[in-house]
């Protein structure tokens, strides 16, 4: 399955893992996560994979394309989930979507 990607240039800190999970799935979501954050409150992460264990087709992958000027590639199993995370990244980091 090919998943579309959106590129986001982040100008500042990203939302923490806790904020992302609550924004996407709510406070009590059972989420599997992987990435390079030092803690759930870390805002300087550059790689992230999330999947809600209770919802099929809920995987999100965020990978760096460039770290000099931080550009993140956001992919998700659904367009809606990808768009919601992109909007959160833009809002939180003061960044923008690259076209």
Looking at residue 78, its pLDDT comes to 94
Q: In 3-state terms, the chain is what percent helix, strand and coil (to 5)?
A: 25, 30, 45
pTM exceeds cut of 0.85: yes
Q: Residue 2: which pLDDT band, with cuts at 50, 70 and 90?
A: low
> CB atoms < 10 A from the CB of 38, how many?
8
pLDDT digits (tens, 9 = 90+) for 14-69: 999 999 999 999 999 999 999 999 998 999 999 999 999 999 999 999 999 998 89
Looking at residue 3, its pLDDT comes to 85
Looking at residue 1, its pLDDT comes to 54
Q: Facing residues of 48 across strands?
A: 35, 62
Burial (CB < 10 A; 0-12, 13-18, 19+), residue 68, is exposed
Q: Residue 99: which pLDDT band, with cuts at 50, 70 and 90?
A: confident
């Amino acid at each position: 399955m090919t998943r579309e990607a959106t590129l986001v240039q982040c100008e500042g800190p990203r939302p923490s893992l806790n904020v992302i999970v609550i924004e996407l799935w709510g406070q009590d979501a059972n989420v599997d996560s992987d990435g390079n954050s030092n803690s759930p409150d870390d805002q300087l992460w550059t790689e992230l994979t999330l999947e809600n264990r209770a919802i099929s087709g809920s995987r999100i992958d965020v990978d760096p394309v460039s770290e000099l000027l931080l550009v993140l590639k956001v992919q998700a199993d659904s367009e809606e989930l990808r768009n919601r995370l992109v909007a959160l990244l833009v809002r939180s980091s003061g960044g923008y979507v690259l076209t």
